Chain A
Amino acid sequence: MVRVEDLTVAYGGIEAVRGVSLEVGEGELVTLIGNNGAGKTSTLMAISGMAPIRSGRIVIDGEETTKLPPHAIVARGVAHCPEGRLVFGRLTVQENLRLGAYQRKDSAGVKQDLDRVYALFPRLLERRSQLAGTLSGGEQQMLAIGRALMSRPRLLMLDEPSLGLAPLIVQRIFSVIQQLHEEGVTILLVEQNAHLALTVADRAYVLETGEVRLAGPAKQLIDNPEVRKAYLSQ
């Protein structure tokens, strides 16, 4: 579905991502773990057409998208739920969700997906006319995920969906991620909570200072001594 080849992202002189290659196949749930500053967000932003790519290629469905603007990436079925949620605080919950479907023309389908998001997150339905800025952190994360789902994506990229949330809400969000995976949505999940991520994922990449350090099936990595030491603090 998406392939990243030898990607280097640089902000001015700083190389945040150095020669990263990774792949997410149709229907897979792949996670990208690593410490703060490892280059996870930059990698997702590069796929979305939002990061300064110095070299390398991004290929979506066999077609190179390296130089395409973000709206063209969205048009190819990619939804990106960014780190820090970035909901539109001055817009209502429902307006936020509708923006997730900005490029869609099938209003009947959009309506259907709106109902589906409200069924997944009933809290959002209760608050649909409220300004998103008035929601709690957990509700904002649900809104950000719901907004990403509104494009009916084929590839869903989630950047730290558990960051700063209470355990109960994290559980809720991860059960939704698993449900989407079962429905066949391709997912690329970035997490600092490595244990949680490795539990739900099929495969994983471990990023360290901009480079892929380890890669493999999640079940293997979870038992890897190096991973256990560095990321699972065991």
Chain B
Amino acid sequence: MFTPTYVAQQIINGVNLGSMYALIAIGLTMVYGLLRLINFAHGDLLMLGAYLGLLLVSAAFTPLILTLFIPMLVIGFVGILVERLAYRPLRGAPEVTMLITSLAVSSIIENSMVMTVTAQPRAFNLPAGVNQLHTVAGVSFSTLDALTVGLSVALMAALTLYVRNTRTGIAMRAAAENLRAARLMGIDINRVVMVAFFLGSMLAAAAGWLWAAKYSTVEPFMGFLPGLKAFVAAVIGGIGVIPGAVLGGYLLGFAEIFFVGFLPPAYSGYRDAFVFALLLLILLIRPNGILGASTEERA
């Protein structure tokens, strides 16, 4: 029943979904690592990125690549703005205060969108060429699938190089590990947080564009579930650690696709429940996530 091509097809789907989860999870994990803030508004930046992409795609004269890059850039700045207005005044506040604030920011963004563009889902249609199917050895994938994976991998590689080698990148890793010690080094934490919000929001916007293209639709609440699942991915991989977010994203993408693809169709409605069960299971075995620091390492 499960032919090799069917399995290969599922793998492609898993890489696809996993790439998007990974892109979203990186921003969540960077911000959590620095501020211990679970940023519920992250998924809403994804949504804003998708809408902005739609706006540009509809203006047919914009080159396709710019319909992606412009929203990334703009949403990067929106991320900085959200941090400045909503989160910076709370520096040093209890985690639960920040959590509630991010829920508030999320619902403000969603409701503003409902008020201005209505909750009506809109079609996100790319030029036909993008959805063209290619078949290699019986396995088929669209140009969009290839673009999703290629772009995600390229963006993640660029981010990794940045965080590994640049002065700000090293400062970011140091601050995520020990904020007090990082401040004693003379690192201006606000600057590092700003860069983290910029980069993370940029990746969320890219994921939003890809998500909208894959499901051919945008609506104001589209960011909620991907945001939540990306958070699960970040926790599975070890929150605060960027490679953990990538690993968790792909793991979750595969798990979800395989759950739907290899179990009887009657189960597929439970895919979200399955995702959270998987989270619980992994956390039972590794309470700090797969790549997270064990408690002894932190001491």
Contacts and interface: CB of A to CB of B under 8 A. Distances in A.
Interface in B278-299: 293, 297
Nearest to B183: A70
B184 A80 contact: yes
Given A71-B186, A103-B186, A88 B181 contact: yes
A86 to B, nearest CB: 4
The number of chain A residues touching the other chain, given as a range, is 20 to 34
Contacts of B83: none
B180 A90 contact: no
Contacts of B185: 74, 99-100, 102, 147
B191 to A, nearest CB: 9
Interface of B: 167, 170-171, 173-174, 177-178, 180-188, 293, 297
Nearest to A98: B170
A83 to B, nearest CB: 11
Interface in A25-80: 48, 50, 69-71, 73-75, 80
Contacts of B178: 86, 88
A50 B170 contact: no
Contact of B188 (A71, A82, A151): A71
Contacts of A74: 184-186
A187 B170 CA distance: 28
The 10 closest A-B pairs by CB, nearest first: A74-B186, A86-B181, A70-B183, A103-B186, A71-B188, A71-B186, A88-B174, A99-B185, A80-B184, A102-B185
16 contacts: A50-B184, A69-B183, A69-B188, A70-B183, A74-B186, A80-B184, A82-B181, A86-B181, A89-B297, A90-B293, A91-B173, A98-B167, A98-B170, A99-B187, A100-B185, A102-B185
B186 A70 contact: yes
Given A70-B186, A99-B187, A91 B170 contact: yes
B19 to A, nearest CB: 25
Interface string A200-231: 00000000000000000000000000000000
B177 A70 contact: no
Chain B interface helix/strand/loop/mixed: helix
Interface in A82-139: 82, 86-91, 95, 98-100, 102-103, 133
Contacts of A99: 170-171, 174, 182, 185, 187
Nearest to A133: B297
A102 B181 contact: no
Given A91-B174, A133-B297, A151-B186, A102 B167 contact: yes
Contacts of B171: 99, 102
Contacts of B184: 48, 50, 70, 74, 80, 82, 86
B135 to A, nearest CB: 44
A102 B297 contact: no
A225 B181 CA distance: 38
Contacts of A87: 181
Interface in A154-171: none
Contacts of B181: 82, 86-88
Given A99-B174, A147-B185, 8 more contacts: A50-B180, A70-B184, A71-B183, A71-B186, A71-B188, A73-B186, A74-B184, A102-B171
Contacts of B177: 88-91
B289 to A, nearest CB: 14
Contact of B187 (A71, A73, A147): A71
A58 B271 CA distance: 59
Contacts of A151: 186
Contact of B180 (A73, A86, A147): A86
